[in-house]
Structure 1
């Protein structure tokens, strides 16, 4: 659990983060969203003390981070950034092993963890372990960056715009992979993004920042249905609200008995994905992996205001 209490950061006497308090429960994803300069990245970096707070407190599982040496604190917290930040002259395996080596893990344990993570990210260890970063695609580099952040089995992972440099197709796959792996490992995750759609897709709770202040902190459905301020409403985009709401529900939850032609959509595909597929393919119904169908009529009904 992360407890942030009255956290403030001043630069030249002006607050960049202004008296922010919030709690992230163990195993949750909290998405920090806001426009450029809203304070979200500064808030994230105060959690692992890359930025020192001017006032306030951060507790991780009840322990005040100010009482922990910064380098020791950062070894306990995974950190992934936009553009992956891999060391260009180290192999994939050496990159992933960075923190375990600092923690003096045995060579056998390090190799086992590297191979475990490569397998988890659907990268064959024998094919990728000894590659250099420049030999990887952008999506593969990003996966290695996240794998490196998870290497020492941290209970907490911080991510700063991790998918911002990826093209839309690779980004969607990376988001789905992250959600699946986070659920599998039970890692608590705090994610900075400027993209409300990404925050809604990934976040169990969304923290909306505006000019250094936390203006709303709630589950995605609550933010979509009851935005706290005009700024939050503008960030959502009034015309996009129905589509955002569709993205909160997996298709299998509304699947009914029936038959539909064509390839099935994944069981965990969202209703928004299903609507896009219906419109793109011209079909009135889609089969769902595992059984059942989702109809265009049902999707339109769900999307209605």
Structure 2
């Protein structure tokens, strides 16, 4: 399904944008998860996949928000750029500290769950809180202006140009003609904002579920795992040792986190636009076919000249 989403975005924009790249990353992450599950289950492998998925989740949401055209995108960038920079530093710091033996993705007899897993979870929860604030308090700054300003949509311009030509040629009232250019842009702006809000609501819904699961896993890992005997260490602390079924379930929950993020991305950025018909926009060539003008009739004088 993600491969189809990549193709649809590539076909619509005729170039590579951020969203197809995000889909491509999650495809690689899911392949890596399958390889990890079928081979040696290193703790470092789970940590790197979870941290990378969390980071691309943060990066994808933030870039989609700040890349909005028009005034909303400008305000979003100016007011949140320091948050973006700080989060990048925190993600880099988390990755860097993972190479320190005390904080790295390894376990011991007294510390089964590594601290770097807690940090990766905290960064995801911070981004979830940021998303809640942007949605509930700021409404993604969509009220600050149109998001159609500066959009290079050739199909919209083609239809608007045809409307203007028809009005001049036929000399009809505006109420009887097609939508004016301004009305068309207003309608497109409302539909675009509706689509964006619906996508972000789906994004927020999945993020809420993932945040709850992250908190539950961290409590399980930091409190119950240390006081129980269903999970141990092996291979010099680089692998977890399952002693009971609970240990297998605990490790499997980390796999669920990665898979759910992929589902979230696919649903919010592909299924929602597809249901709203966003991928059905006609190209300029198709629009030209719809607006073909009938051939002018040959008058009687021209017919006599031909004869």
Return the TM-score normalized by structure 1. 0.25
Higher helix fraction (1 or 2): 2
Specify the structure having the higher radius of gyration (Cα): 2
Higher strand fraction (1 or 2): 1
Structure with bigger RCO (C-alpha 8 Å, 6+ apart)? 2
